[in-house]
Amino acid sequence: MQERIIKTEYSEVMQKNFIDYAMSVIVARALPDIRDGLKPVQRRVLYDMSELGLRYDRPYRKSARIVGDTMGKYHPHGDSSIYDSMVVMAQDFKKSVPLVDGHGNFGNIEGDGAAAMRYTEARLSRISQECFLSDLDKDVVDFIPNYDETEREPEVLPVKVPHFLINGSEGIAVGMATSTPPHNLAEAIDAEIALMKDPDLTTDQLMKYLKGPDFPTGGIVINADDLKEIYETGSGKIKLRGKVTTETEKNGHIRVVITEIPYTMIGAGIGKFLEDIASLAESKLTSDIIDISNQSSKEGVRIVVELKKDADVDYFTNLLYKKTKLEDSFGVNMLAIDHGRPETLSLKQILQASIDFQFETATRKYQTLLTKEQEKKEVQEGLIKACNVIDLVIEILRGSRDRAMAKNCLVNGVTEGIRFKTRESAAMAAQLMFTERQADAILEMRLYKLIGLELEALLKEHENTVANIYRYEDILSDRNSMSLTIQQELLMIKKEYGVPRRTVIDNIAEAVVVARPVEEYDVGFVMDRFGYAKTIDAASIEKNRDALETDFRFYFVCRNTGRIVVFTDTGNLYTIRAQDLPAGKLRDKGIPIDNVSNYDSSRERIVLAASQSDLNLYRVMFVTKLANCKIVNGGEFDVSKRTVAATKLMDGDEVVDVSILREQETMILETLDGFFLRFPVRDVPEKKKSAVGVRGMKLGREDFIRQVHYLAEGEERVITVDEKPVSLHALKIANRDGKGSRVIRK
């Protein structure tokens, strides 16, 4: 065969193949069918369990057996996806109506996963057996070949309830996702029956029957007014809250008890919720918490937060709603496969699709039953007729050479070759004219059927068959009659499996947390040489000034509601709330600044710590290692961000000194090589914090600024450098940007 090269645009090939892939994922894996509300993997698991005979009234079977059989026959996409799907269908905290009856560890509401499939067992739940699979033998749905065409599987299960609404669905496809909340089975059935009776019902009218979502975890829907739009458009957001109660202990402490959680908190959300409650205390949003405990068990959720005697319970509850996932949103997008296409459907469209499917399956079911009853009637009439001429039938059988000859006589009246006792018998035999089916039944009939009671039973059975045929023909010919039949079956399902609503539907105002007024007072901030900081009583600053000079790098008085700013040698500014620092005594250790800010002690060094309120009143002097100087208005550092750049640095430069300018008149730059330059502070220009600054001193090769000193007017000060005294006040005042004088010889 001659090779043909087809030239095509690469982008077109990619586009076509991606669309094919996307549709395959959408239709064949990720989205449920609106008719039975099941994804393919769920449908295949249930069908395989039915084929294995795992009825609700039979023993459990190993989950690994079910998963392996499903994967081998119907779903070749990996055992984990099959087992995960089966586990979810068995979890009563995820599904309003569990479809699988699991035996063993199938996980819990707190996020612990199910045991491996080799340890757990399962079987069909009763509702799956009776409402999802019971009519498969009546040709109610089409069967299609499996992936390798060695088996056949149902295209859809003949579900008798609006399952897409009842258990909801979640799935992510390519470019689209479905997220449908679960609903109450009894309410969904009532709504479907109401729509059957009056197809013109509006969403408002349907919601009189189906009031809203009904989550297995209970909780409270707090935006009832938004549900109408959600059910009309098929999408929106449902706001959920957990249920909170209060208890008072004998010692007067108050217990806030969470007995129901939002559906979105299932799994690891409970652990995160406990962490969030603890963080409320750590961030000092509340100081009322004494203890937190998770007392949840198989009986239900119970999370207990113990509060102080005088705690404001309403404030704390609102804090939980506002700052944790105790109030959360459930995004609704009721997307499903409808007639082979993904569609976002309204409540009425979903119910109507279920009704149409019920009529379709009912039509096929009763047509199959009618055909069987008609065949049964034909056989029964043949047997009754044969009993009336049983002597002639026996004579035909005894006179025939083989079965074919006897059957030919019974059906066509052919008497040739048959030995009759009399000519009258032969003449009567020629007039029998039974049907093929009747003749087979007569030839297979046992003699005990000729007993009087058996004949009476046959006549009674024939009467029942005729009545069934009449009933089935009435159902098939009259839509109202079929509708009543479907409604009766739905009411029986509701009576058998209906449960009271668990989720409360209400309109509740959004939780508002009004910040409590904080009593303001002065505190002392202290930080030692190792970067450990704390706040102390403001009076201790004056009382222990000598000790502070010796043991601490920075100390000052600030407000307890104020902020502390930290400048580093890398040019960064970190803001810390005074409330975030622990309060203690002077000799208490404190905590590292790293713990309450973004400061990293491993790569930078603190140059100055100061009160934000002080900076707002004064100007700030920056001096770098390469002798760049500038003055910045302190108000520029009044920022809300926790980390900002305090100054701009040249490559290889770093901040040596940051000082708040109060009464300083002159400044002295000291270099590593022992040069000193004294010049007026006013010679340094004021610039923005984003500027580099001006040169304050000319440096020799490999020399740099080591330290900066300041003198007020008339101040005298002597420092020691390399064990030699230096009188700073005696240094001659020069101009900025000079070389200075070498006071210390290296």
Q: How far is CA 564 from the centre of its chain?
A: 40
Eight-class DSSP state of 289: E
pLDDT band at 746 (very low <50, low <70, confident <90, very high): low
Structural tokens at position 286: 């509340």
Decide: 121 and 58 in contact? Cβ < 8 Å: no
pLDDT at residue 31, rounded to an integer: 85
Q: Which domains does the chain have, with CATH numbers?
A: 38-157 (3.90.199.10), 243-325 (3.30.1360.40), 357-496 (1.10.268.10), 522-742 (2.120.10.90)
pLDDT at residue 331, rounded to an integer: 92
Residue 632, number of CB atoms within 10 A of its CB: 22
pLDDT band at 639 (very low <50, low <70, confident <90, very high): confident
Given 21, 119, 470, 521, the catalytic residue: 119
Whole-angstrom distance, CA of residue 167 vs CA of residue 185: 9
Cα torsion angle, 114, 118, 119, 120, sign? positive
pLDDT at residue 406, rounded to an integer: 87
Structural tokens at position 524: 């002392």
Taking CA atoms, 54 is separated from 43, 105, 133, 153, 595, in Å, by 15, 19, 12, 17, 58
pLDDT at residue 173, rounded to an integer: 66
Residue whose structure tokens are 């003699």: 447
Non-local CB neighbours of 702 within 8 Å, separated by 6+ positions: none
Percent of the chain with pLDDT over 70: 95
Structural tokens at position 367: 């047509």
Closest C-alpha to 497, from 108, 213, 125, 140: 125
With H, G, I as helix, E, B as strand and everything else as coil, classify residue 152. strand
Closest C-alpha to 579, from 276, 282, 277: 282
Characterize 382-408 residue by residue with b for buried, 16 or more Cβ atoms within 10 angstroms of its Cβ, and e for exposed.
bbebbbeeeebbebbbebbeeeebbbb
Whole-angstrom distance, CA of residue 669 vs CA of residue 73: 85
pLDDT at residue 439, rounded to an integer: 87
pLDDT band at 467 (very low <50, low <70, confident <90, very high): very high
Taking CA atoms, 295 is separated from 274, 498, 695, 715, in Å, by 12, 29, 67, 69
pLDDT at residue 45, rounded to an integer: 96
pLDDT band at 590 (very low <50, low <70, confident <90, very high): confident
The string of pLDDT tens digits covering residues 554-573 is: 999 998 888 999 999 999 99
Q: Which helix (H) or strand (E) holds 82?
A: helix 79-90
Average pLDDT over residues 457-480: 91
**263 is known as an active-site residue:** no
Does the structure show a pLDDT above 90 at 649?
A: yes
Bridge partners (DSSP) listed for residue 707: 670
The string of pLDDT tens digits covering residues 514-561 is: 666 667 888 999 999 888 999 998 888 888 888 888 888 999 999 888
Structural tokens at position 508: 């509740």
Average pLDDT over residues 389-400: 84
pLDDT at residue 177, rounded to an integer: 81
Decide: 568 and 605 in contact? Cβ < 8 Å: yes
pLDDT at residue 308, rounded to an integer: 87
Average pLDDT over residues 420-441: 85
Write phi, then psi, for 248 (nearest 5 degrees): -115, 125
Write phi, then psi, for 724 (nearest 5 degrees): -120, 135
Decide: 195 and 347 in contact? Cβ < 8 Å: no
Taking CA atoms, 39 is separated from 28, 98, 631, in Å, by 8, 15, 69
pLDDT at residue 453, rounded to an integer: 65
With H, G, I as helix, E, B as strand and everything else as coil, classify residue 57. coil
Bridge partners (DSSP) listed for residue 244: 258
Average pLDDT over residues 76-82: 89
Does the structure show a pLDDT above 90 at 167?
A: yes
First-to-final CA distance of the chain: 94
pLDDT band at 232 (very low <50, low <70, confident <90, very high): very high
The string of pLDDT tens digits covering residues 320-343 is: 998 899 999 999 999 998 988 889
Whole-angstrom distance, CA of residue 282 vs CA of residue 308: 16
Eight-class DSSP state of 709: E
Can you give the pTM of this predicted structure? 0.74
pLDDT at residue 252, rounded to an integer: 81
Does the structure show a pLDDT above 80 at 17?
A: no
Bridge partners (DSSP) listed for residue 237: 331
With H, G, I as helix, E, B as strand and everything else as coil, classify residue 240. strand
Rg of the chain in Å (alpha carbons): 44
Structural tokens at position 364: 């096929």
